[in-house]
Chains A and B, each alone.
Chain A
Amino acid sequence: MDTETYLIIILVFMIVMAIAAIHARDLLSSVIAQGAIGYGLVLCFLLLKAPDLAIVQIVAETITIIIMVAVLHDSTRFETRFPICRRDIVNYSAAFVLAGVLLYYFVHAIAVLNPFGEHTLRMSEAYVYQAIEATGATNFVKGVLWDFRALDTMGEAAVLFTTAIGVLAILRLKGKKQSNQ
């Protein structure tokens, strides 16, 4: 079997797990199904020749599951269920109509893309074939990350910084005591 067949099998597994995660009655099993999706993505990255991404994704997925289980441990595990009302019917029908319309336009839109596996390196040719002389790094992903496109990475660091400050601000229970004039 070639790469495409393996990828199709893993993607079908991921779609089944996604539906299971959305319709599970217990929130803990939802979280575990989400972990299955993340580890399926790791396998896809390995098959698509992206070892950097596989390492990052497998560690990040584990940390996400730890934080999610910590949040559920703090609160409730069970989802409250209600009988279907009129608002739900509107929601379901809107979701299905939107999905159908988006799928129709997507099938027409991917006609301009190259077929799978026949990508042509246009701009990235310089990133690959001149990387060793220009940066000295034999890992081209790091060469792009910290030399050719380092400003993007700088923005990423800014987002991380903002997130940490936001979490500290949200989770602070006691404000600083106001000084008496």
Chain B
Amino acid sequence: MTLYILCFILFLVGLYGLLISRNIIKMVISLTIVEVSIFLMLILIGYVSGGIAPVVFDSQVLENKLVVDPLPQTMVLTAIVIALATNSMILTMAIRIYKKYGTFDIHEISKLKG
């Protein structure tokens, strides 16, 4: 229980950063924190205490053994690579915004209305 609540607090810290920050780079970092907390939550739910990792060498190893759930691991494996790609896409948008307006601050950008 403690672990789930701590993981959710990490999510809330990311959400707080998204709401209060005015800098685009800080918003990207907050988004990454939210992603990290969600990955960790999925893996925490799928953990079986005393289980072995889902990589074996032989089918006889599996007898009378508990195994960690491989399904959340697969989903998170694809999600990490997608998070990397979307992060780099947001960063390229940020670099174009900096070239046009000369600042990363969103209030300044909405004031300029270029």
Contact = CB atoms under 8 A, between A and B. Distances in A.
Interface of A: 3-4, 7-8, 11-12, 14-15, 18-19, 21-22, 27, 30-31, 34, 37-38, 41, 44-45, 48-53, 56-57, 60, 63-64, 67-68, 71-72, 74-76, 79-80, 82, 88, 91-92, 94-96, 98-99, 102-103, 106-107, 110, 113-119, 121, 123-124, 127-129, 132-133, 138-141, 143-145, 149, 152-153, 156, 159-160, 163-164, 166-167, 170-171
Contacts of B20: 22, 88, 91-92, 95
Nearest to B7: A11
A154 to B, nearest CB: 10
Nearest to B13: A18
B90 to A, nearest CB: 10
B71 A123 contact: yes
Contact of B16 (A11, A22, A51, A82): A22
The interface residues of chain A, by DSSP majority, are classed as helix
Task: Please list the 6 inter-chain residue pairs (A to B) with the smallest Cβ-Cβ separation, ordered nearest first.
Answer: A117-B49, A140-B54, A22-B17, A163-B85, A49-B53, A95-B19
A139 B43 CA distance: 17
Contacts, number: 246
A72 B84 contact: no
A80 B1 contact: no
Q: How large is the interface on B (under 10, 10 to 19, 20 to 34, 35 or more residues)?
A: 35 or more
B105 A51 contact: no
Nearest to B93: A170
The interface residues of chain B, by DSSP majority, are classed as helix
Contact of B89 (A41, A96, A121, A163): A163
B26 A71 contact: no
Contacts of B28: 68
A138 B40 CA distance: 24
Contacts of A167: 88-89, 92
B3 interface: yes
